[in-house]
């Protein structure tokens, strides 16, 4: 163990145990458990689907989303779920290195096919930003942008108000609430945008942002997230 490891201990990106050497960024036991999504997936949002004769998941059948397509590497469950919560709320920005590696390994082909002009992180409200100190989606987007040499625009999309907890609202109110929450500040001139976030759940945020970008001239909007919730 060297001095830096003692002063700034590194953590396993999944279980948060202090690790060194070859156990970084993920310890050996966590490595064995880590499984990206495989098997049949929704053609639009990439959620795993049970019945492989189906093209789309139930969500995507029910709603017409404004985005074109999306991709996620892992299911939002188990250790990864705890990991993402620490990444978001407990200052573990360092996990982005590992997340980026995984997204590179499993999603770089898809990203090449999308051929984006820019990556845009899903914005958080500045009150949240002040509390957490960083926007986890921005951290992730910067990691990916550096890796893939794609510009990152984390300034133009803004979340202007803290939305009420979406859980309390019915779907219609939810959408309105969200639509009012985001604005585009300044002019953009992008053909293809990839929205970056840590997790995709119902898709409503990505959907609203895609709609906003498209009314401002963007032709294609995709999303890339580390994890995705299970289909409904
Ligand atoms: Zn671990
Ligand atoms: Zn879907």
Are both 26 and 57 inside the same structural domain? no
Q: Over 80: is that where the pLDDT of 35 sits? A: yes
93 CA → ligand 1 middle, Å: 16
Are both 14 and 105 inside the same structural domain? no
Are both 15 and 81 inside the same structural domain? no
User: Bridge partners of 54?
Assistant: none
Q: What is the pTM of this model?
A: 0.93
Q: Read off the pLDDT of residues 186-230 as tens digits, 9 standing for 90 and up.
A: 899 999 999 999 999 989 899 999 999 999 999 999 999 999 998
The predicted structure's pLDDT at residue 125 = 92
pLDDT confidence bin for 162, thresholds 50/70/90: low
The predicted structure's pLDDT at residue 8 = 82
Domain range holding 22?
1-33
Are both 19 and 41 inside the same structural domain? no
Tokens representing residue 231 in the block: 């289909």
DSSP category for residue 15: T
Q: Over 90: is that where the pLDDT of 124 sits? A: yes
Q: What's the CATH code of the domain at 185?
A: 3.40.50
Are both 40 and 123 inside the same structural domain? yes
79 CA → ligand 1 middle, Å: 9
Total domain count, the chain = 2
Note the ligand closest to the C-alpha atom of 28: 1
Are both 78 and 12 inside the same structural domain? no
Are both 112 and 220 inside the same structural domain? yes
The β-bridge relationship of strands 192-200 and 220-228 is parallel
Are both 11 and 41 inside the same structural domain? no
148 CA → ligand 1 middle, Å: 27
Are both 86 and 153 inside the same structural domain? yes
pLDDT confidence bin for 174, thresholds 50/70/90: confident
53 CA → ligand 2 middle, Å: 14
E-only strand ranges, 62-112: 69-75
130 CA → ligand 2 middle, Å: 33
The predicted structure's pLDDT at residue 213 = 98
Note the ligand closest to the C-alpha atom of 15: 1
Are both 152 and 51 inside the same structural domain? yes
């Amino acid at each position: 163990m060297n001095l830096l490891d003692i002063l700034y201990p590194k953590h396993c990106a999944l279980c948060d145990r202090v690790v060194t050497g070859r156990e970084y960024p993920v310890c050996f036991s966590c490595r064995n458990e880590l499984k990206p999504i495989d098997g049949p997936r929704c053609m639009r949002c990439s959620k795993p689907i049970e019945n492989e004769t189906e093209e789309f998941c139930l969500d995507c059948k029910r709603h017409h989303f404004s985005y074109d397509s999306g991709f996620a590497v892992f299911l939002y469950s188990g250790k990864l779920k705890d990991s993402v919560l620490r990444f978001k709320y407990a200052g573990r920005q360092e996990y982005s290195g590992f997340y980026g590696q995984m997204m590179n390994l499993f999603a770089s082909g898809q990203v090449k096919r999308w051929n984006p002009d820019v990556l845009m992180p899903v914005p958080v409200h500045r009150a949240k930003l002040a509390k957490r100190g960083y926007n986890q989606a921005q951290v992730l987007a910067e990691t990916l942008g550096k890796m893939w040499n794609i510009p990152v625009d984390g300034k133009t999309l803004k979340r202007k108000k803290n939305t009420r907890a979406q859980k309390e609202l019915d779907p219609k109110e939810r959408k309105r609430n969200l639509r009012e929450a985001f604005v585009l500040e300044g002019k953009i001139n992008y053909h293809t945008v990839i929205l970056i976030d840590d997790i995709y759940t119902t898709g409503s945020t990505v959907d609203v942002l895609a709609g906003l970008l498209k009314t401002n001239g963007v032709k294609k909007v995709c999303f890339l997230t580390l994890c995705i919730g299970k289909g409904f």
